[in-house]
Amino acid sequence: MKHEYKAKYDVIVLGFGGAGATAARFAADKGAKVLLVDSAPYGHEGGNTRYCIQLVGTADNYDEMLKYYKQLSEPMDEDEKLQAVYVKGMANMRSYLKKYLGVNPVSVRHDKLDTSKYAFPLKKMLEEFPEFDGANTFDFSLVHEGIADSALWKILRKKVQNRNNKIDVWLNSRAKHLIKDTEDGTIIGAIIQRNGQDISVAATKGVVLTLGGYENSREMAQAYLNSQYLAPFGTLYNKGDGIRLSIEAGAQLWHMWNYESAGLIPGLSFYTKEGSRARLVFGNPQFSHGSIMTVAEDGTRYIKENGSNRHGHVYNHGRWDVPNYHTNIHLIFDQAQYEQIMALPKPFEGYDETLVKADSITELAKQINVPADNLKRTVKDFNYFVEQGRDYQFGRDVKTMRKFREGPYYAIKMINTVLNTQGGPKRNSKAQILDGENKPIRHLYGAGELGGVCVNNYQTACNIAECLIFGKIAGENIAAEKDKEIDASQEMNGQNDLLNHGENIILNNNQFLGTSHAGMGDEIKVCVTTDGNKIKDIEIIEQNESEDIGKKALKVIPQEIIKANSTQVDVVTGATRTSHAIQDAVSKALKNKH
């Protein structure tokens, strides 16, 4: 098929997350003209890098870290050269962050950091597999003293923006196909759907695939993960395009079964509708301690409710595996537990959206569609374990168990979750994507979670480290490729969706603009209308916050500020950073008044 190329670049990077931003930046630094493409709309690019805790995997000692990483990978086979390059990258991570991101990294292991203020148990997460040799050499690097605030992502995004003379960015644009040279199979471009049109774009040096995983693809979840659907904690735009393009290019796929999870209970969160992000909640023993348990669709107990949560993996006969997927999982508890939950100052939002109540176990079973006899027996067994002082089924510490009393009883629907998938096209230590014979596909590279190098057990922060390490390798190596001669109607077309996105705003005498970068997105801009010293109206002019609970803050916080005539109002639970960003933007607007 002959293509009429509308634009020509040296390199096309497909996927604008941490790996894609890094690959594009380093390719540009080597002189390449780059097109960076992402299917997300403006302000929602970033993939899972935007939503993760912002921890970067770091190692104090190369040899010890290599031991640890090899044990994490066992019993799966992996290229030893690839392992060595990856671990070396983590051993050099602190200097990487200083040299290339311009930050003085904060060490969770070595610096005096008050981790008690964070919602995540960082110290405990440092050694996710403490029984493995070398675990104590692993560290988290932060770009500042803060987590879960998109700080790392904002830096990576800014590095791309600063190279707008070398990097064009197309958002809300989807890669449909890769283009191969018909003679030698070299990847020479991509067909990109943009503004309702399919556009053929040439890439004289090739294409980098950094499209993330397939956690939002129902079809691929069923094909590879034995799951009907998993609720994502991260981006909603990882829909498996990278897998589809890899297969089209003839790439070899590896560890497609492997994915990471998390949750209130290992691998579980409160039910959310398909197409919505699940709530990531930690440190809430009222949902795992007491007269409370999980049951699956047959009415029997599903899991050890307070078990170790190693990225959603649970202990399974010497292994750590994500719990088997089920379609109908519920938390079951009694009145005493309900009162314990409600005694919290602020039960977090959304936990009770599927809450049902019944006077008897039989009636509760009917409401949640499980066999009543099984559910009654399960409650009876649970109570027996408490009496005997031993949980014979899952080994839960009976100190965390309390007998179910008389009704009423309650149930909340749960859902299996996913943080990210690891499977995808196999690559080598040079970030080249390999075909079925383990030979590099010419001019095709990969980085990040798409075919990630974590092949079995997962240590927190390793994926972000991989994005930085292999993003750089892919960007520099593809920029060094020999150019293919390709005719196109124009070179870089100059379209950059990161630039000049906002519109000119005309203000009245009593209106003032304020901007904040403290939220989860790139920018929140507000227009505040005043009447003397009174705040009369607040309009959100521009925002790029999360699609879920962050949206509620955008509505609630301005109303509360107007009502109180002050920015000192309570934040929306679960959207603290968005709430603070709105408050900050309004405060800055009011300062502009004076």
- Provide, rounded to the nearest whole percent, the portion of the chain with pLDDT above 70: 95
Residue 391 above 70 pLDDT? yes
Residue 346 and residue 456 in one domain: no
CATH number at residue 519: 3.90.1010.20
- Residue 584: pLDDT band by 50, 70, 90 thresholds? confident
**C-alpha distances out from residue 183 to 130, 188, 443, Å:** 52, 12, 14
Lowest mean pLDDT: which of 201-205, 308-312, 349-353?
349-353
Residue 273 and residue 250 in one domain: no
For residue 216, how many C-alpha atoms fall within 13 Å in the half-sphere facing its CB? 20
CATH number at residue 99: 3.50.50.60
Q: Are 12 and 27 in contact (CB under 8 A)?
A: no
Identify whether 253 is part of a domain.
yes
Averaged pLDDT for residues 270-279: 90
d(CA 258, CA 14): 22
Q: Are 297 and 326 in contact (CB under 8 A)?
A: yes
Lowest mean pLDDT: which of 58-72, 113-127, 455-469, 567-581?
567-581
Residue 400 and residue 526 in one domain: no
Identify whether 77 is part of a domain.
yes
Residue 301 and residue 378 in one domain: yes
Residue 299 and residue 377 in one domain: yes
The confidence score (pLDDT) of residue 519 equals: 75
Token pair listed for 357: 């109540």
Q: How many domains does the chain divide into?
A: 3
Averaged pLDDT for residues 274-300: 90
Identify whether 222 is part of a domain.
no
Averaged pLDDT for residues 548-571: 81
- Cis bond upstream, residue 75 (ω within 30): yes
User: How many other C-beta atoms are found inside a 10 Å radius of the C-beta of residue 87?
Assistant: 25
When comparing pLDDT for 77 and 549, which is higher? Answer: 77
d(CA 71, CA 129): 9
Of 417, 451, 468, which one is at a domain's C-terminal end? 417
Residue 392 above 70 pLDDT? yes
Residue 457 and residue 569 in one domain: no
What values do phi and psi take at 88, rounded to 5?
-60, -40
The confidence score (pLDDT) of residue 440 equals: 98
Q: What is the CA radius of gyration of the chain?
A: 25
Tell me which residue range forms the domain holding 569.
511-593
Identify whether 484 is part of a domain.
no
Residue 436 and residue 530 in one domain: no
Nearest to 590 by CA among 542, 537, 521, 523: 537
Residue 512 above 90 pLDDT? no
Task: Give start and end residues of each alpha helix (H) in 75-121.
Answer: 80-91, 93-101
Per residue in 148-190, pLDDT (tens digit) is 889 999 999 999 999 999 999 999 999 999 999 999 999 999 9
- Residue 521: pLDDT band by 50, 70, 90 thresholds? low
Nearest to 305 by CA among 323, 325, 317, 321: 323
The confidence score (pLDDT) of residue 465 equals: 98
Identify whether 225 is part of a domain.
no
The confidence score (pLDDT) of residue 547 equals: 56
Identify whether 506 is part of a domain.
no
When comparing pLDDT for 563 and 84, which is higher? Answer: 84
- Residue 501: pLDDT band by 50, 70, 90 thresholds? low
Residue 364 and residue 455 in one domain: no
What values do phi and psi take at 536, rounded to 5?
-95, -35
Residue 181 and residue 273 in one domain: no
- Provide, rounded to the nearest whole percent, the portion of the chain with pLDDT above 90: 70
Please name the helix (run of DSSP H) or strand (run of DSSP E) that holds residue 577, with its range, or none.
Answer: helix 576-593
Residue-by-residue DSSP string for 298-312? TSSB-S-TT---BTT
Residue 95 and residue 63 in one domain: yes
**132 dihedral zone (left: phi>0; alpha: psi -120 to 50; beta):** beta
Identify whether 347 is part of a domain.
yes
When comparing pLDDT for 507 and 93, which is higher? Answer: 93
Of 364, 393, 417, which one is at a domain's C-terminal end? 417
pTM: 0.88
The confidence score (pLDDT) of residue 124 equals: 86
Per residue in 2-42, pLDDT (tens digit) is 788 989 999 999 999 999 999 999 999 999 999 999 999 98
Residue 459 and residue 539 in one domain: no
The confidence score (pLDDT) of residue 477 equals: 98
Q: Is 15 helix (H, G, I), strand (E, B) or coil?
A: coil
Averaged pLDDT for residues 271-288: 85
Identify whether 463 is part of a domain.
yes
> Which pairing describes strands 420-421 and 409-418: parallel, antiparallel, or unpaired?
unpaired
The confidence score (pLDDT) of residue 344 equals: 74
Residue 346 above 70 pLDDT? no
Residue 500 above 90 pLDDT? no
- Residue 331: pLDDT band by 50, 70, 90 thresholds? very high
The confidence score (pLDDT) of residue 569 equals: 84
- Residue 454: pLDDT band by 50, 70, 90 thresholds? very high
Residue 410 and residue 428 in one domain: no
d(CA 240, CA 252): 15
CATH number at residue 371: 3.90.700.10
Mean pLDDT across the chain, nearest whole number?
A: 91
The confidence score (pLDDT) of residue 349 equals: 66
Of 428, 460, 479, which one is at a domain's C-terminal end? 479
The confidence score (pLDDT) of residue 505 equals: 63
Residues facing residue 591 across a β-bridge: none
